[in-house]
Structure 1
Amino acid sequence: MSVRSYRRPRPLSPLREHLRDTLWFAPTLGLVLSVLLWVGASALDTALITALKEEQSYDEVRSLMSITEDAKTIVTTISSAMMTFIGVVFSISLVAVQMASGQLTPRVVRIFVRSRISKLTLTIFLATFLFSLLVLTSYDSDINPRRVSSVPVIQSLLTMVLVALSLLLFIAYVSSTLRLMQVGPVVDRITREAMRALARQPTGEGTPVELPPESLRIPYRGRAGVLRDVNVTWLVRRARRQGVVLRLIPRIGDFVVPGTPMLAVHGKSNTRLRVPSFAVHVGTERTFHQDLGLGLRQLSDIALRALSPAVNDPTTAVQCVDRIVQLLSALAHEPLGALHHRDTQGQVRLEQDVPNWTDLVDLGLAEIRAASTNAPQVTRRLMAAVDDLLLLLAQDPASTWGWDERVMVEERRIPLLRHRTLLVQSVVGAVSEAADREFALLADRQGIG
């Protein structure tokens, strides 16, 4: 096994990731919490006035009523202006995101949806609006301090705190949204999410694990869509109870339709296995939760759009190649292959196919190489990328694979050498001048530094 640390999947991990891909959960939770906050603040205000009246401190009650009457004007203004403020801010933000998705890739919208600052800002804005409306219902029309039952002192203070927090979050939100229009922060965000997905994945084992004979295949019964993730914890527990080994047939990211074979059962089960909907999640788009190749896919998409004749931005493509090299470097000495998820006794209970080294290299380099023939800045960066990866493979890390490490290194050199050969052939066939060909094939980590 690799020395890279691996965190065992938690039972609620898929649910947590699915909620992060939604924009409704956090604001809805914020609205519920704002109601609870108002109920608690209202109870404190009532207790405060009751205590003052018991002590017959009517002058203090009158002073609090005077203060809250002045605050009522502010609260009224907040409640009427907050929704307009929310509409204007998010309209501008959606225009910015639309521009970024047009310049880079439509998948940048997902970054906006998963952004914590976006969700927190929307949550606090809506909570402030709802809380201010609820506070207005707490104002008593009775001006006699002896008969008044509650004065919204604490509620008014909390409204001011929420407004101040909204203003601070507005500044952070605008700054975060503007960064979505810049190439560097976007590709950096994609890379960081891909690295986190890598950290969540267990590694392969270098040598194949022999499974019992296959006895059954379980078809998929849900709606058609992209296989986003599977509930590893549930499948491992189910396989352990039945005394079998399950093998996931499609890869994460594959498009499946009803009837597609989903799981192969290895070994004999006493009962017929059924896969509930929460064990296999299918959606409209891929996610980073268990998808090892999604980061490379998005970086490649951005680079391809940058190299299109309509955009013609090779510098953006070079920035994407930089991050592709970063991801491939992190995987260079990882034992890729089928993942084997084990139960608490160490027995293999679930086998999951993932992209191998050749698949990932092709995903990161093939399309960019084909589209960059007439962009010397990109071809020079690709030559440097291949050279750097070959050099990295030639290094001798702390070996944990045993005697097969040399074989692994030689096998992983093959797709890199193939891409370098194809790149040279493409440039030679497209560029007529020998000097230009030599210039375009000179390795340079900055493209044209």
Structure 2
Amino acid sequence: MPDSVGKPRRYRELTGLRLGTLVDRLRESLLFLPTVMLISALVLAEFFDHLDHRKIGPVIPERFQFAPEVVTVLLSTIAGAMITAAAVVFSLLLISLHLVSRQFSPRVLRGFWRDRFSHLLIGLLLSTFAFCVVALARVDVAQEFAPPYTVLFALVLTLGSVLGIVAYLDRVIRQQYIGNIMRRVLAESLYLIAGLPYGRHSGGQVGEPVTPPEPGSLGPSLVITAPFDGWVQQISRRGLMTAVPEGTVIRLETRVGAYLTKDTPLVTLWPPPPADQQHRIGQLVARSVVTAAARSMQHDIDFGIRQLNDLALRGLSDVNDPTTAAEAVARLGSLMRPLLMADLPARSVRDESGRVLLTPNDLDHAAYVRHAFDQINVYSADHPLVRETVTETIRMLQAASAGLPGREAARAELDRHLGTSRRHPLLTQAARADHFRSGDRRPRWRSATTRTG
């Protein structure tokens, strides 16, 4: 039976997994933070109304006390202006998303709709509107002065909203600069890399590395299929291990960042658990895998590589912006260097109860190198600036990984991309294919090959 001692740890980890997913999705929600701020504004309206009626606190100077007729016009004007400003901010946000999607890549949009400042500004505008409307209903024209604390706080909210709009205009312009987009993607990737091999965002250590057993020698197996479609965002390795009986060998048939198709194999178990436990184990296994409609940067380092690749390839496409492509390659070098120097989680581990977890689909250093440079090498043949940047970046990575144990396959991939491998001279072949075109037989590829070494 599944380990009863490991149940609390499994439930804690699965709860943390779901909570982390919820927090990540709330960060992307344009509704959550503004709603919280709107409710807070209504609570503050009640609080300041209490102060005004009880006459609690210091006395407001006369210069900040207004006649009810003046306050009625003032609050009405502010409320209308805030709704108009909110509509303008929404429009600017949508235009920014549209321009960035067309000019760069749809994958980098997540950085814009996750921008906390945009959420705060929209929440501030809506809060100011709601506060002014509630305050307007509290104004008594029969009194000599309008509620002073309420009016003063409404003016503070208005001033904050105006300053926030100006700051947002400056921010939205700077955010669309390609260098800032790449910097944000790189920073998110480096944050994940810093946690390798067993940090918070890499699955955690659930056992000691062991030599993987041969599946053919394990006998009959049970295949648990995926009950859902979607991109794999997180996997709880401890949840998988504690979901099965002791002594079970578990092979995970997917990885973080892969697309999971419903009813395809999710995990394979040796030996099969008892028939009366199979349904429950299948549910526990499914809960240990979190999927979504799109990839995210929660645990997915490869997604950062994909985004930088997209930016480089867009620069090499009809947009014809090799400078942007060269900068994206340079940022890839800043990502790949610490990744190559970091140890990756073992793909075969055994826990104290004899369970073995196999994760053969996890990316190794060589796979990361392929994902980083395969497409860029092919499409950069006509762009000497990009080719030169690729060459310099790969040589830097070769020097950084030289002598590190377990990096032999990665260094072979780097050699292949430089064209020094006899079996796979990829760079030379790409240049030769692209430059010897019909009607243009000049050997321009020779100079490009010389530049790449």
Q: TM-score if structure 2 supplies the norm length?
A: 0.79
Q: Which residue of 1 aligns with 2:227?
A: 221
Separation in 1 of the partners of 2:350 and 2:159?
50
Counterpart among 239, 255, 262 of residue 258 in structure 1: 262
Aligned match of 1:25: 32
Following the alignment from structure 1 to structure 2, what is the Cα–Cα distance between the partners of residues 342 and 15? 30
| Paired residues of 2:245 and 2:273 also in contact (CA < 8 A) | no
Segment of structure 1 superposing worse, 35-44 or 284-293: 35-44
Alignment of 1:23-172 (within 5 A): 23-48=30-55, 66=66, 69-143=69-143, 152-172=147-167
1:354 maps to amino acid: D
Question: Is residue 351 of structure 2 the alignment partner of residue 356 of structure 1?
Answer: no
Partners of 1:306 and 1:254 in 2: CA distance:
26
Tell me how far apart the structure 2 counterparts of residues 210 and 371 of structure 1 sit (CA, whole Å).
38
Structure 2 CA distance, aligned partners of 1:297 and 1:181? 19
Of 287, 290, 294, 2:296 maps to 287
1:239 aligns with 2:234: no
1:180 Cα deviation from its structure 2 partner: 3.0
Match of residue 413 from structure 1: 411
Measured in 1, the distance between the counterparts of 2:49 and 2:244 equals: 52
Q: Residues 209 and 349 of structure 2 are in contact (CA less than 8 Å); yes or no, is this contact kept in structure 1? A: no
What percentage of aligned pairs have identical amino acids?
28
Q: Does the aligned pair in 2 maintain the 1:97–1:112 contact within 8 Å?
A: yes
Superposed displacement of residue 392, structure 1: 0.9
The Cα RMSD (Å) is: 3.6
Partner of 1:5: none
CA contact (8 A) 2:365 2:407 kept: no
Q: Structure 2 counterpart of 1:199, which letter? A: A
Question: Which amino acid is 2:124 matched to?
Answer: I
Matched AA of 1:196 = Y
Residues 24 and 264 of structure 1: CA distance in aligned 2, closer, same or farther (over 3 Å): farther
Q: For 2:354 and 2:124, locate their aligned partners in 1 and report how far apart those are by CA, in whole Å.
A: 47
Is 2:299 the counterpart of 1:304? no
Aligned-residue offset at 1:176: 2.2
Q: Is the 1:100–1:180 Cα contact (8 Å) retained in structure 2?
A: no
Q: Does 1:384 align with 2:385?
A: no
The alpha-carbon deviation at position 284 of structure 1 amounts to 1.8
Among 185, 192, 195, the residue aligned to 1:190: 185
Deviation at 1:240, TM superposition (A): 8.0
**CA distances 1:38-84 after superposition (whole Å, capped 9, x unpaired):** 222222223227x99xxxx9xx9999874565444322211011111
For 1:195, the aligned partner's letter is L
Query: Does residue 185 of structure 2 align to residue 176 of structure 1?
Result: no
Cα distance in structure 2, aligned partners of 1:336 and 1:244:
24
Q: 1:168 to 1:240 in 2, by over 3 A?
A: farther
Structure 2 CA distance for aligned equivalents of residues 155 and 266 of structure 1: 69
- Residues 132, 331 of structure 1: alpha-carbon distance in 2 compared, 3 angstrom cutoff: same
The Cα shift of 1:234 comes to 5.1
Gaps of 5+ in 1: 1-7, 146-150, 397-404, 445-449
Gaps of 5+ in 2: 1-12, 420-425
TM superposition shift of 1:372: 0.9
Structure 2 CA distance for partners of 1:34 and 1:339, relative to 1, 3 Å: farther
Query: Residue deviations 1:303-341, cap 9 Å, x none?
Result: 111111x21111111011001111110111222354679
Shift of residue 191 of structure 1?
Answer: 0.8
